[in-house]
């Protein structure tokens, strides 16, 4: 039996759950976890394996330090202000130029919006992969492992490739004449790394999730031909504002001269009014509930559901299970995005075939940290809801899950001062019996509000348990087998919860995951 060592970096970097431009980083102690070590191997063999695994973990950590080095050399106050004043995404463009523009070798789809960017990127990538294409996926931030940010066909980039690609980019970055009062955005460096690896991997399509904006977002420097726009809210007014219209204008920067098509979720009237002058310039613009519609059909014999998107005379469909049932619009929009990408890419390649309807099975897909069932008996669900709109997805999930059930519902919430605690608590109050308020391992997050009193105002029992692991353990150990435990909150907390339950995040496909997946 051949010895196999697996090195896992636990919590390499914790950071604020906003876009990368205003995040500080905190590199934590690297811990290497070994599994399936052959006990029959000689001591010398096992020691060599441990040294090798430790070496890769250390090299990945050093590569991550490089990613944040430019950002970290400026004092915190130099990162404060409107993105248009403090960010310089052109440096990411210069990195890509020096690398030979690897982003021009693939067909790229960029995703912007205020809610659901990551889920739309994952869903669109998964649909294209199920159709037989090789697909790159760039998302941010990560939940457990930094390498989750770069994937091909749902699989995380291997450590040796991450280290090698980082070294190539480092040689370029070290030669750039960045002024002392500017920095290269960490997310831009990682996006350039992703583009380089996707080129090596000869991907057919690539999905790139942008940060909070677009016009001044480093990832927007990636040349892209297609665009996905998720719902836009009046968020990050201190960075993109000061008005809601300013937020929309910032995000519409994603519609660059290379874009030939865009698909959008249904928007609030005020947001759509600000969007209209920009989307009107796109040759092929699809808008939910206007140019395409989405519906859900249950398949009772199989216990699954069919999400259908009707667009341009075709009905595209995806089979899902209960875990994705809260996201029908996300799935439907992603179906239309995948159809647009395939049609436009074929057209550019001289293929004049007509649009064909898509039919895929996504029942094996996992959206990490999004209504993610990580344990049964009691059932534990992890989700990143931080405002009322997202919390509504959680509430609907609980309502379906608890229909006819007698179990109690306990919600462990981690909502820093900059998150919509009133919205989340108020939305969940009708389906929760008890709230436990906690923090997160990220040392940069602030928790100063009296959320126990907020819960009391809604007539719900609550307590504060600041230590994350203790808060989750208290909820789980106090729960009966038929109870439901929700772990809901900021992205750093989502990562903490996934680590607590030892959930594997190396793949977006359930059958490819380890024992921690469900």
Residue 46, pLDDT > 60, answer no
Judge if pTM exceeds 0.85. yes
Residue with more model confidence, 74 or 415 = 415
pLDDT band at 189 (very low <50, low <70, confident <90, very high): very high
Q: Three-state SS string across 300-352, please?
A: CCCCEEEEEEEECCEEEEEEECHHHCCCHHHHHHHHHHHHHHHHHHHHHCCCC
> Contact at 8 Å (CB) between 119 and 333?
no
Superfamily of the domain at 76-361:
Mur-like, catalytic domain (3.40.1190.10)
pLDDT band at 395 (very low <50, low <70, confident <90, very high): very high
DSSP string, 372-414: EEEETTTEEEEE---SHHHHHHHHHHHHHHHTT----EEEEEE
pLDDT band at 20 (very low <50, low <70, confident <90, very high): very low
Give me the sign of the Cα torsion angle 324, 296, 121, 359. Answer: positive
Q: Residue 347 has what pLDDT? A: 82
Q: Residue 514 has what pLDDT? A: 52
- 444: number of Cβ within 10 Å: 15
Q: Residue 53 has what pLDDT? A: 53
Average confidence score pLDDT of the chain: 88
Q: Residue 192 has what pLDDT? A: 98
pLDDT digits (tens, 9 = 90+) for 451-486: 999 999 999 999 999 999 999 999 999 999 999 999
- Beta bridge partners, 410, equal 434, 485
- 376: number of Cβ within 10 Å: 9
> Contact at 8 Å (CB) between 494 and 137?
no
pLDDT band at 115 (very low <50, low <70, confident <90, very high): confident
pLDDT digits (tens, 9 = 90+) for 209-232: 999 999 999 999 999 999 999 999
pLDDT digits (tens, 9 = 90+) for 125-137: 999 999 999 999 9
- 300: number of Cβ within 10 Å: 7
Residues of the chain with CATH 3.40.1190.10: 76-361
pLDDT band at 138 (very low <50, low <70, confident <90, very high): very high
Superfamily of the domain at 372-501:
Mur ligase, C-terminal domain (3.90.190.20)
Percent residues over pLDDT 90 in the chain: 76
Q: Residue 441 has what pLDDT? A: 93
Percent residues over pLDDT 70 in the chain: 87
Q: Residue 9 has what pLDDT? A: 42
- 5: number of Cβ within 10 Å: 20
Q: At 283, give phi and psi (nearest 5°).
A: -65, -35
Give me the sign of the Cα torsion angle 415, 374, 427, 385. Answer: positive
Residues of the chain with CATH 3.90.190.20: 372-501
pLDDT digits (tens, 9 = 90+) for 304-363: 999 999 999 999 999 999 889 989 999 999 999 999 999 999 987 765 545 689 999 999
List, in sequence order, every beta strand (DSSP E) within 431-479: 434-437, 461-464
């Amino acid at each position: 039996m051949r010895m196999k060592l697996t090195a896992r970096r636990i919590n390499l970097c914790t950071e604020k759950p906003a876009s990368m431009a205003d995040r500080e980083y905190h590199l934590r102690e690297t811990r290497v976890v070994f599994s399936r070590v052959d006990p029959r191997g000689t001591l010398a063999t096992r020691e060599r394996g441990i040294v090798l695994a430790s070496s890769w973990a250390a090299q990945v950590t050093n590569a991550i330090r490089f990613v944040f080095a430019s950002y970290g050399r400026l004092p915190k106050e130099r990162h404060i202000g409107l993105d248009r004043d403090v960010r310089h995404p052109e440096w990411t463009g210069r990195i890509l130029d020096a690398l030979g523009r690897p982003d021009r070798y693939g067909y790229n789809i960029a995703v912007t919006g205020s809610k659901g960017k990551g889920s739309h990127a994952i869903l669109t990538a998964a649909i294209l992969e199920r159709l037989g294409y090789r697909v790159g996926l760039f998302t941010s931030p990560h939940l457990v492992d930094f390498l989750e940010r770069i994937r091909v066909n749902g699989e995380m980039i291997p450590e040796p490739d991450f280290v090698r690609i980082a070294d190539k980019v480092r040689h370029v970055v070290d030669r750039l004449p960045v002024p002392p009062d500017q920095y290269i955005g960490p997310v831009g460096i990682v996006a350039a790394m992703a583009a380089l690896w996707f080129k090596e991997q000869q991907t057919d399509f690539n999905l790139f999730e942008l940060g909070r904006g677009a016009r001044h977002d480093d990832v927007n420097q990636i040349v892209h031909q297609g665009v996905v726009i998720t719902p836009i809210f009046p968020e990050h007014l201190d960075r993109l504002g000061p008005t809601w219209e300013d937020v929309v204008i910032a995000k519409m920067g994603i519609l660059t001269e290379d874009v030939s098509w865009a698909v959008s979720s249904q928007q609030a009237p005020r947001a759509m009014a600000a969007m209209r002058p920009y989307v009107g310039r796109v040759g092929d613009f699809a808008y939910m509930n206007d140019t395409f519609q989405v519906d859900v059909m249950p398949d009772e014999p199989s216990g699954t559901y069919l999400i259908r998107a009707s667009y341009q005379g075709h009905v595209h469909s995806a089979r899902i299970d209960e875990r994705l049932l809260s996201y029908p619009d996300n799935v439907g929009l992603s179906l239309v995005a995948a159809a647009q990408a395939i049609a436009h890419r074929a057209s550019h390649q001289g293929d004049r075939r007509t649009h064909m309807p898509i039919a895929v099975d996504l029942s094996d897909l996992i959206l990490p940290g999004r209504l993610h069932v990580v344990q049964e008996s009691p059932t534990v669900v992890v989700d990143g809801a931080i405002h009322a709109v997202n919390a509504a997805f959680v509430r609907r999930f609980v309502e379906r899950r608890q229909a006819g059930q007698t179990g109690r519902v306990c919600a462990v919430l981690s909502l820093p001062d900059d998150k919509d605690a009133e919205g989340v608590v108020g939305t969940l109050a009708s389906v929760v019996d008890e709230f436990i308020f906690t923090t997160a391992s990220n040392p940069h997050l602030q928790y100063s509000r009296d959320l126990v009193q907020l819960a009391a105002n809604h007539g719900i029992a609550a307590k504060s348990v600041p230590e994350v692991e203790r808060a989750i353990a208290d909820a789980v150990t106090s729960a009966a087998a038929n109870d439901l435990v929700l772990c809901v909150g900021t992205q750093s907390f989502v990562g903490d919860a996934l680590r607590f339950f030892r959930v594997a995040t190396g793949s977006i496909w359930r059958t490819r995951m380890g024992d921690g997946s469900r």
